[in-house]
Amino acid sequence: METKRVCVEEIEALLGKEIPVLNKGFVRIIDYMGDDAAIVQAARISYGKGTKTPSNDQSLINYLLRNEHTSVFEMCEIKLHIKAPIFVARQWLRHRTANVNEYSARYSEMDNDFYVPDLKHITGQDSNNKQARGKELDHDVVLQAYNTIDTMNKESFAAYTQLIENGIAREIARGVLTTNLYTQFYWKIDLNNLLRFLKLRTSSHAQFEIREYALKIENILKSWVPFTYRAYTNYNKLSLSQDGIKVIKSLINKKDISIEDTNMSKNEWNILMNQFEIE
């Protein structure tokens, strides 16, 4: 059927298809609105198809993103169906800039779908970062952890099933399930807030599991709004504090500078050094 709405060929081909993430999760595109041209139209406040050439459209989008003219990016929206472990969903839904509806464990019974991390992703606690993975562990310790997680998942679901069979209300029975259980939700968000989500959740500092989802969505972004994707990857990778600027200026001018010359924490200093690959 002929339509007058904006259609992006690459996204149309992905509509309704599950894009696998982790062991049993997925991202699925339900619907979308707008494209790069919609951003340009909003900026120009016109009804045409943007400027005369694609290069002009790219330049305008670069300018808009670089100078944080965010409202025009709100002209585009996307609705996704997500299947993710509960602990990932709890991180995800902290981004309170989207419309969300999640599967109800009060109304429906949960499926026996659990996440168990690959052995290579089971590591020790980071010695500096209180919320991150750290050093590698002995193989025996990792294998024992894997088996413990897998056993707890299975035992929790067995207990849940038994409670349901005994007539216990679903809203009570669900309390025994682990947060490795998969949940599902619909997530509708505008492009401006999606870019913010991706900047945070594709970072190397984000937890591995949610980063895997963010990277899949970043690929969707590349197909949906390629001009915006190019601007996003060019302008959204680095933020500098006043101290950070001071350090970089000193290095450019070949002047010695140390952490003691700034108000930076050790962690902030190390991140800056790593970002610029400074030894």
Catalytic positions, written as ranges: 201
Q: How many CB atoms lie within 10 A of CB 104?
A: 12
Q: In whole angstroms, what is the distance from residue 233 CA to residue 96 CA?
A: 23
Q: How far apart are CA 238 and CA 24, in angstroms?
A: 33
Alpha-carbon distance of 97 to 196, in angstroms, equals: 10
The count of C-alpha atoms lying within 13 angstroms of the C-alpha of 99, restricted to the half-sphere facing its C-beta, is: 7
Report the relative pairing of strands 99-102 and 25-33 from DSSP bridges: unpaired
CB 133 within 8 A of CB 124: yes
Report in angstroms the alpha-carbon separations of 128 from 122, 154, 253, 268, 269.
Answer: 18, 33, 31, 12, 13
State how far the Cα of 106 lies from the Cα of 92, in Å rounded to an integer. 21
Residues 6+ apart with CB under 8 A from 275: 238
Alpha carbons 34 and 15: distance in angstroms, whole number: 15
